[in-house]
Amino acid sequence: MRLDTGADVTLLSHADWIAIGRPTLQSPQITLRSANNKPINVRGRYDCSFVIDGQHGRGTCYVADTPSLLGLDWITQHEPLFRRLTEGSICNVSSSTLNTRNSSLTAHLKKKFATVFKPGLGHCTKSKAKLVLKPNAKPVFQKARPVPYAAVQKISTEIDRLVSTQVLTPIDHSEWAAPIVAVQKKNGSIRLCADYSTGLNDALEQHQHPLPTPDDIFTKLNGGRYFSQLDLAEAYPQLEVDDDSKQLLTINTHQGLYRFNRLPFGVKPAPGIFQQCIDALIAGLDGTAAYLDDILVTGRTIDEHNTRLDAVFQRIQDYGFRVRLEKCSFL
C-alpha cells in the first residue's frame, strides 16, 4: 500500500480487496475525487484493524478502482509516522506519476494484445465444459414462466442478441427445460439467466475442482508490492459447452425453446469447471492467482510486475478469452 498525504481517506484497490478475502462491504456514503478532480468509483467500505510498524489502529477502508493508498485518516493514528511527515522527512506520493504510469501500461497492453480487448464475447479454444448426469437421473421439463408485459421487449431483445452471438440456439424439442429469470442491470439492460434449481442442478454431478481459499491466494501473491487485477468479460459464457451437454441446458421462454451453447450462470458445476480452466491458464506463472474471472498479478518491482502481466495477457490471448478493460485495475 502506497503512502499519500494528499489522500484524506485510505483506499484499497479492488485487486487487493479480492486478495484479502473479499470482506463484506457497506455503502460508501461518500463521494471521492482524484487530484485532477475526476470522480473515483468507490465500491464500498469496511471497518478494520491495521498495524503500521507494530502500532495498532482501527479505521475505515474504502474499496475503489484506484491503486491502494494509505491516507491521512490512518496516518494520523500512527504517531511516529505522522511526526516524521510533519517534520518533512517523508515526501508526498505524486498522483500524476501514478496516473501517467498507469496510462502508459494500459496503452502498451492495448497495442500488444488488441484482440484481448476487442468488443464482443471471447471463445476459449483450449477446452469445453462437460456436464455429467447422476446415475438414473430423469429429465425435468419446466414450462415457461409468465413475463410481465413491460419486460417482454427487453427479454426478446436479449434473446435475439444471445442468438446472434451463438450463445443460444433455437430448438424445437427437448426432454430438459428450465424457466428463465431476467435480472435488470444498473444500465437498464437485462441479464438472462436460467433457473436450473427447478430440476437440472439436482440431476448433475458436482464438478470436484476446488475454488481457491484466501490462504491459497495469499501464498501465490506473497512478497508482491505492485498489483493488477484483470476481469474477464462475461466470464462463464466465454467457455463453450460440449455437444452432449448442450441439450441439458435448454431454457423455456415466451418465444419457445433455446439451448445454451456456452456455459451459463446458475448451473451447479459451472464454478468448478470455470476455475479449472482458469487454473490451467495461469499454471506456471509466478506472482499470479485467480478466483473465477478475477485474475491477480503482482511483482516485487514495477519491471517484474509488468513482465508477469505481459505473460498473463499472452496466455489470455492464446486461450481466446477477452478482458473488460473498464473493470481492470493496473498497478
Mean pLDDT in residue range 49-62: 70
CB atoms within 10 A of CB 224: 22
Residue 105 lies in a domain: no
Q: Are residues 203 and 308 in the same domain?
A: yes
**Domain identity same for 133 and 66:** no
| 298 SS3 class | strand
Domain match, 131 and 61 both:
no
**Low-confidence winner among 56-65, 83-92, 154-163 (lowest mean pLDDT):** 83-92
Q: Are residues 35 and 134 in the same domain?
A: no
Mean pLDDT of 183-192: 77
* 206 vs 196: CA distance, rounded Å: 14
pLDDT at 96: 45
pLDDT at 200 over 70: yes
Task: DSSP letter for 221, please.
Answer: H
Residues 264, 265, 271: CA angle, nearest 5 degrees: 100
What burial letters (b/e) apply to 166-194, b meaning 16+ CB within 10 Å?
Answer: ebbeeeeebebbbbbbbeeeeeeebebbb
How much is the pLDDT for 95?
Answer: 42
**pLDDT at position 94 over 60:** no
Provide the mean pLDDT of the chain.
84
Q: Are residues 124 and 221 in the same domain?
A: yes
Residues 162 and 286 in one domain: yes
Task: Count how many domains the chain has.
Answer: 2
Residue at 187 is within a domain: yes
Segment 302-307 mean pLDDT = 92
> Is the pLDDT score of 79 beyond 90?
no
103 located within any domain: no
- Please give the sequence-ordered ranges of beta strands (E in DSSP) within 14-87, or none if there are none: 32-33, 39-40, 42-52, 55-64, 69-70
Question: Is residue 243 pLDDT above 80, yes or no?
Answer: yes
Residue-wise pLDDT tens digits, 27-45: 887 888 776 667 888 899 8
Q: Residue by residue, what is the 3-state secondary structure of 73-117? A: HHHCCCHHHHHHHHCCCCCCCCHHHHHHHHHHHHHHHHHHCHHHH
Q: CA-to-CA distance for 52 and 71, rounded, in angstroms? A: 13
Cα separation, 267 vs 67, in Å, equals: 35
- Provide the residue count of the chain: 331
Q: What is the pLDDT of residues 248-294, one digit of tens each?
A: 999 999 999 999 999 998 899 999 999 999 999 999 999 999 998 88
The answer to whether residues 89 and 165 belong to one domain is no
Based on the domain organization, do 305 and 200 belong to the same domain?
A: yes
CA angle in degrees (0–180, nearest 5) for 232-238-241: 150
3-state secondary structure of 259: strand
| 13 vs 100, higher pLDDT | 13
Of 8-22, 200-214, 221-235, the poorest mean pLDDT is in: 8-22
Closest CA to 193 of 267, 142, 121: 267
How far apart CA 4 and CA 204 sit, in angstroms, is 51
Q: Which domain holds residue 31?
A: 2-93
Q: Between 106 and 139, name the one with better pLDDT.
A: 139
Tell me the mean pLDDT in the region 65-86. Answer: 63
Model confidence at 3, in pLDDT bands (50, 70, 90)?
A: low
How is residue 264 written as a grid cell? Answer: 451459463
Together in a domain, 122 and 245: yes
pLDDT (0 to 100) of residue 50: 67
pLDDT at 111 over 70: yes
Gap between the terminal Cα atoms of the chain? 11
For the domain that residue 222 is a member of, what is the CATH number?
3.10.10.10
* Together in a domain, 84 and 122: no
Confidence (pTM)? 0.70
The residue with greater pLDDT, 82 or 136, is 136
Give the CATH number of the domain where residue 69 resides. Answer: 2.40.70.10
Q: How far apart are CA 94 and CA 26, in angstroms?
A: 29
How far apart, in whole angstroms, are the C-alpha atoms of residue 199 and residue 228? 40
Q: What per-residue confidence (pLDDT) applies to 255? A: 93
